[in-house]
Structure 1
Amino acid sequence: MEEQRGPGSGSAWRGRGVGETWWVAGARGRWPWRSTALVTVFVLAGSHFAARNQTDRVALDLLARLLLITGCLVLLWRHRHPVPVAFATVVCASVYLGGGYPYGPVFLTVALACFSAIVAGHRRAAWSAAGLLWLGHLLLAHWLYAYLPPSGDGPRPWGQEGLVAAWVLAVVAVAELARVRREQGEQARAERERAARRRADEERLRIARELHDVLAHSISVINVQAGVGLALLDTDPEQARTALTTIKDASKEALGEVRQVLDTLRAPGAAPRAPAPGLDRLPELVEQAAGAGLTVDVRTDGRRPALPPGADLAAFRIVQEALTNVVRHSESRRARVQLRYAGNQLRLTVDDEGPASHAEAGGSGNGLAGMRERAAALGGTIEAGPRPDGGFRVVAELPLTAAPSKETPR
């Protein structure tokens, strides 16, 4: 893959600038027949008209017309091979002027070729071609004129060289402006694509997190109740029936939430069929935990404000994951959940008495990481670790205002 160069950097003659990707991708697949034909007609007609008013120059003959036509026809390759075409037009124009033929639109072919080369990213080559044309004209008009037709011709006025130099600079300036505009457009398109990929990655991460939280909690409850049901199937059928009922309810709820999450994949941008869970459903979590044999005490301090949807969902999922971890990893059958509202912040604490059970509990091991990601996405924090008395504590602090945007300002 060839090197991609940023705006403002001089590319090598065979290098490729940022704008060339756009230019070549859109131009290499076709030949510029129409524009080349129009330029050829204009150059031939303009040169013929100029010859009428420049009687001191050599009249147009077959060689002159061949040089004009050749300089125009090579423009067909200006998108595919811009550097050779730029120098080829300079050679044709220089030989034409060296033959003493009339001045006219012969310079148009050089301008168009240099323009294409600069836009394609070959800036130094185009500058060199334009500078070579000017130096060639300087040499022909002031040093070699005595050896070239027409006979008896004198040196050209030095003021004319200023006009030629101004013309060369104007062509280069216009081409550079077009190159910069194309590079800016290409960079803007690339930035939009990167932003779209970032949004897609964030959406995939959100869906993965939602699925993890839903499945981890529900399957943990199912796992515990299945163990209870198996243990009591023969000795206490009624209790085993209760465990199976809990499994049925937990699996039904899990299927509903998974279906809700997956609906966003099937119909991007469509509104969900059910609202996202929030702290209003905390009693359901408590009931599910009770079905798994865990008693949960909930305490609320402060007046609960209207929660932003993101903070409400994050708080629910953090409590859900914390209780799931208690069911999985603790021998304690009691947990405490404290919600403290203070100003624009929610402090959420989940405690269990421990000790930790060392039995294999399954799971992905990403629960705490998922909680930290949820809190960080809102500008909050999570602290989780063992307590001095042997239990475990999860403390989350979530702002109740929108997190500042992380996008780079344009």
Structure 2
Amino acid sequence: LLGDTRDAYRIWKQQGTRPIIEATRKGDRVAARALVRTGTSRNLYNDVRTYTHALEDQIRIRREAAATIQADQFVRLSRILNISILVFFGLLAMFSLLLLRGVLRPLRELQDQLVEVAQDGHHEEPIVPSGPPELRDVGQDAETMRRTLTREVDRARQADEGLAQQGPVVAAIREELADSHSEPVAGLDFAGVQEPAEGVLAGDWWSAQVLYDGQLAIALTDVSGHGPEAGMEALRLKHVLELSLAQNADPALALSHAASGFRVASRFATCIVVVIEPQTGFLTWANAGHPPAWLITDSATTELVGTGPLLSVLGGTWTNQHTHLDIGALLLLWTDGLTESHDEQRAELGDDGLAVLVSDAITQEETSAGIIAHLLAAARARSADWRRDDVTCVAVRRV
């Protein structure tokens, strides 16, 4: 049709208009009028219009058809897209279900078993692996570790039983030093851990006792040396300090009473005593040459520095100092066996290294017991000579 339209236009131009135009240019108006009167030009022009209208109709029809096809394709594309989305979410749901059944559920079961085994009295319960091979391998490794730890617990229990049977005095001293006499105190979360360097007797001890006026007294002592002699001296100091605090609630006076009992010139001890009022957080301390305790808040760390000499036959004078334990703040006390531990390169942990470990523990743990467990585990993993000296650590947080 487009070709017919072009041919009609060409014929109309050559046969219908050109002769008239040429006659007009030559000035032969009579001939031009005669050509017009013949109607040839009009007829040829009408043919062009007819073909043009037909071409326009054809273009319109094809445009409408193309629009219809486009609309159909859009609908089809929308349907395909919707089906694809449904298939995607279906596959996602299937994958989530498989992930839940194949990975997350076995992992949660393994976690529950590990938590159960970690509880006192549940060490004998086996860990049953499940899930994909990778998780089964992890579960099997956990079961192997449980068996190893169970054997070690059995050996330790047997050693304790043997000690109780063959060395009842040593066993009694150890139990007395390990007993912090702690009772729950509303508003304060506190915990402590003592790890002896050799045998079962440590020269370190810590104590938490509720005083007659409701205050909490925390005492941490490090007697020089370790072993039976240090244990005996530590036991004497513990009884004297606890009795003095129970009667007077005065840290400095308690240190004076403790120092008066030294008889051997080569024996000495460091000690820090802290008394806290749970309701107000008012804190009183006296420090006899012990590493300064840290009072840690979100914005600063305050040291509870020495307020007198260490405890020995030389005696001395100690004074009380005061500060506040705000809600959320942490009080951390430790013996030098912690900060003087060495890594493989013989580098001491020191205060700077301890600060890093404490910061990490506070970030990851919420309770005082959790903070101490995290801190000591990290320090022990770093140390190459962990049992070189007694290690004791105490934490108090006001809640």
Q: Into which bin does the TM-score normalised by the smaller protein fall? A: under 0.3
**TM-score, normalised by the number of residues in structure 1:** 0.26
Structure showing greater radius of gyration is 2
More strand per residue: 1 or 2? 2
**TM-score, normalised by the number of residues in structure 2:** 0.26
More helix per residue: 1 or 2? 1
